[in-house]
Structure 1
Amino acid sequence: MAKKAPAAKPASKSEVYANIATATGLTKKQVSSVFDALTAEIGKALGKKGSGVFQIPGLAKINRKDIPAKPAQKNVLNRFTGVVGDVPAKPARKSVKVRPLKGLKSMV
């Protein structure tokens, strides 16, 4: 078998800030404050009082999905092992889904 080349290491947070700062002419501190503001906006949109959807134009759409509670079940057959058992209840929870948009898909 042929050996695979080692994958490139992902950029660290400070490297990302530095790259964006050089590309835009802003300081690293200003870039950091932009990311903090973006994080706050995403938090507001996905929070309890928000719409549940946040879109980063051209890149991704972030959705909050409310998953309802599931009741406990008794005497359920596990199709893989053939054993009959009980399934515990699951509480309601929230999930976050990130869907890539066309702009992000075309980059890959």
Structure 2
Amino acid sequence: MAKKAPTAKPASKSEVFANIATTTGLTKKQVTSVFEALTTEIGKALGKKGSGVFQIPGLAKIMRKDIPAKAARKGIDPFTKQMRDFPAKPARKSVRVRPLKGLKGMV
């Protein structure tokens, strides 16, 4: 069996903020405030009164998806091949992130 190549540990939040601060010439405090503002804007867009879509230009599109309720039903359990009752599921919201061309080009 082939061994997996060792993967690099992802950068921590403070490392990301420090790297962005050195690249842009801003202070870490300013970079932190930019990310807080971005988080607030995403929350507004995806919230109840928002449009449900937020786009980070060239990188990703974040969308709120409303999933309707599902009624209880009878069906065949794929593991045991026996009939069983599947319970109802309430309506819910999920978040989808779709990469855009700029992000796909980086990979």
Shared fold per TM-score greater than 0.5: yes
SS at structure 1 position matched to 2:35: helix
Matched to 1:86, the amino acid is D
Q: Percent of aligned pairs with the same residue?
A: 81
Unaligned runs of 5+ residues in structure 1 are: none
Q: TM-score when scaled to structure 1?
A: 0.93
Q: Which residue of 1 aligns with 2:11?
A: 11
Q: Match of 1:26?
A: 26
Secondary structure at 2:5 match in 1: coil
**Structure 1 residues 24-103: aligned runs within 5 Å:** 24-74=24-74, 76-103=75-102
Name the count of aligned residue pairs.
107
CA distance in 1, matches of 2:12, 2:28: 14
Q: Secondary structure of the residue that 1:86 maps to in structure 2?
A: strand
User: Structure 2: any 5+ residue segments left out of the alignment?
Assistant: none
> In the aligned structure 1, how far is the partner of 2:79 from the partner of 2:18?
51
Shift of 1:82: 1.5
Tell me, what secondary structure is at the counterpart of 2:18?
A: helix
Report the Cα distance in structure 2 between the residues aligned to 1:48 and 1:101, rounded to whole angstroms.
Answer: 25
Separation in 2 of the partners of 1:78 and 1:96?
28
Q: Distance in 2 between matches of 1:2 and 1:80?
A: 30
TM-score, normalised to structure 2, is 0.94
